[in-house]
Amino acid sequence: MKLSTKMVDTINKQINEEFYSAYLYLSMASYLESQKYKGAAKWMEVQYQEEIGHAMKFYAYVNGRGEHVVLKEIKEPQKEWKSLLDVFDGAYKHEQYITKLINGIADLAMEEKDHATLALLQWFINEQVEEEANTSEIADKLKLIGNTKNGLYMIDRELGQRGMTTPTSEGE
């Protein structure tokens, strides 16, 4: 079954959103680096790589279904934040936005009885649960420690431990 024009357009829009997400996280990483939060910057760099992987998963799916990916301009991301907490609050809100978009694509797939796309989206739905939980947990920890130098030092060190996981052939 061929993808509908509406589905192709919607996934193409999502590809742009995933690349924007990567761009946003790279901007966050640069800001954090400038604020001497090297561990948090590394965490965001890993997040950047994950978002590129998400975009490419959608890209491969559209091309694999014999359709054409149309890349659009990526809007400029925010450059400055008030604090480390502000960065992670922003990341959490952004992940909530992406979840809403993914759920919208899933709704469209159900409406169109597009089971193949729905199967692809199940991976993204599960991934978004994880993305929201991770950013929310970090924001909650930052709220607990406030602006204590020792607390900020410890959480920055903890965030720097995050490593990049290489996706499997199934994109997990």
Q: How far is CA 126 from CA 67, 80, 120, 122, in A?
A: 25, 30, 11, 6
36 in Cβ contact with 4 (< 8 Å)? no
160 in Cβ contact with 43 (< 8 Å)? yes
145 in Cβ contact with 155 (< 8 Å)? yes
Which tens digits make up the pLDDT trace of 145-162? 999 999 999 999 999 998
112, exposed or middle or buried, with CB in 10 Å at 0-12, 13-18, 19+? middle
Tokens of 80: 């400055």
164 in Cβ contact with 115 (< 8 Å)? no
Query: Residue 137 pLDDT more than 60?
Result: yes
pLDDT band at 169 (very low <50, low <70, confident <90, very high): very low
What percentage of the chain exceeds 70 in pLDDT? 95
pLDDT band at 1 (very low <50, low <70, confident <90, very high): confident
- Indicate the domain borders of the chain: 5-159
Mean model confidence pLDDT for the chain = 95
Q: Which CATH number fits domain 5-159: 3.30.70.141, 1.20.1260.10, 1.10.1370.30, 3.40.640.10?
A: 1.20.1260.10
Which tens digits make up the pLDDT trace of 87-117? 999 999 999 999 999 999 999 999 999 999 9
Which tens digits make up the pLDDT trace of 8-61? 999 999 999 999 999 999 999 999 999 999 999 999 999 999 999 999 999 999
Query: What is the value of pTM for the model shown?
Result: 0.92
pLDDT at site 138: 98
Q: Under 8 Å CB-to-CB from 93, ≥6 apart: which residues?
A: none
DSSP 78-144: P---SSHHHHHHHHHHHHHHHHHHHHHHHHHHHHHT-HHHHHHHHHHHHHHHHHHHHHHHHHHHHHH
